[in-house]
Amino acid sequence: MDYTRLFSHRTKYMRASEIRELLKLAEGKDVISFAGGLPDPQTFPVDDLAKIASYIIETYGTQALQYAPTAGVTLFRKTLASWLDNQGVKVNDNDSIIVTTGSQQGLDLVSRVLLDKRDIVITEKPTYLAAINAFKPSEPRFIGIEIDDDGMKTDELEEILKSMSKEDLSKVKFIYTIPTSQNPGGVTMTMDRRKHLLELAEKYDLLIIEDDPYSHFVFEPIEFQALKTLDKNGRVLYLGTFSKILSPGIRVGFMLGDKNLVSMMEMAKQAVDLHSSTLSQYVALEAIKRGVVDKTMDKARRIYRAKRDVMLEALEEHFKDLGRWTRPVGGMFIFVYLYKDVDTKPLMYKALERGVAYVPGGSFFVDGTGRNTLRLNFSYPSQEQIREGIKRLGEFFSAI
């Protein structure tokens, strides 16, 4: 049967993630991959989680294996709220928190609840590819704001907002940002820019989606506060996840914001998956209580700082004449801007033949720019692989 006539209009905007396709090509070959975004499995607290999982099933058996409310297990939501408070993420009286199936589901719910065709979404440029892919089926228009080492250029944002017609301004549904250890850019927004962003949100009556998977294991002593914490008027919807600070496989994320907004997200979620895994929520709850999450964050900080340093050193050695790159204080990615005007997308297949994989940066730009960029992941490969892979990549780009 030819199914194409059956597919809905929105499937036109669904694309296989380039990264996943790339990883498939690299499978089974002697390829050092900087393409994925996987945590180092060394950070997974395997023994602790084995004990916790059997404790949960033995102790909370029937509850942990049962359906749960769409918003999530009540005790977990309460514990999560106080954990976030300890982490410096402010939870207001008017706020509500719901558990999502990874923060990726949060992005999908945002798309479903907030976006209509021709609405405007403002993102950083570059931004997280899977966020673009979550928003696209709703057919919004994207406006990209450049980033530099201090994060989103809020002056540029201000100019754009100033120049927009009243009608267009009313179509801006939200500003999507990853302020801390941005993926893919590897930069962190300064406090001044965070405050400026919130001032603009206030002045132009805008909502901010703060996607924050990385701030809990920043590995340099920098001063920052979440936009959610700085916000006074319910202008920030905060998305978080346990993927990088416990395990991505348990698929536990969350959404925190004004209850009037979050309750609509909860309604949308009901039709998507009824609720996120009850068992996973109990596991995450117990992991917080036993300090396993804190321990995992410490370990991630240590491992990723060392790997980042190895990658920065290797880039210094092999990429000095080829381009410039970001120096992340956290997260998992370094972003490279090549000096030469080359398109890294077709080149990636040739790089694979040389035994190294990266993600071409262009797909992270909502306006089709960024062809001469690439994203490098440093969390997953070993230190030896990072040294060897960057050497291979340097030789490859030097020869072009």
- List contacts with ligand PLP (CB under 6 A): 37, 102-104, 128, 178, 183, 211, 213, 241, 243, 248, 253
Nearest to ligand PLP of 128, 396 (CB atom): 128
CA neighbor of 248 nearest in space, from 99, 41, 21, 77: 41
CB of 86 to ligand PLP, least distance (A): 20
> Cα separation of 10 and 22, whole Å?
24
Nearest to ligand PLP of 39, 394 (CB atom): 39
Q: Kindly report the backbone phi and psi dihedral angles of residue 237, in degrees, each rounded to the nearest multiple of 5, phi listed first.
A: -105, 120
* Cis peptide preceding 45, ω within 30 of 0: no
CB of 126 to ligand PLP, least distance (A): 11
CB of 348 to ligand PLP, least distance (A): 20
CB 111 within 8 A of CB 118: no
CB of 138 to ligand PLP, least distance (A): 17
Q: Which residue is nearest to ligand PLP (CB)?
A: 102
Nearest to ligand PLP of 161, 336 (CB atom): 336
Q: How far is CA 212 from CA 51, 271, 380, in A?
A: 29, 25, 20
Nearest to ligand PLP of 214, 397 (CB atom): 214
Nearest to ligand PLP of 246, 386 (CB atom): 246
CB of 211 to ligand PLP, least distance (A): 5
Nearest to ligand PLP of 133, 243 (CB atom): 243
Q: Which two tokens stand for residue 367?
A: 């306006």
CB of 122 to ligand PLP, least distance (A): 16
CB of 103 to ligand PLP, least distance (A): 4
Nearest to ligand PLP of 76, 319 (CB atom): 76
User: What spatial distance separates the first Cα and last Cα of the chain, rounded to whole Å?
Assistant: 46
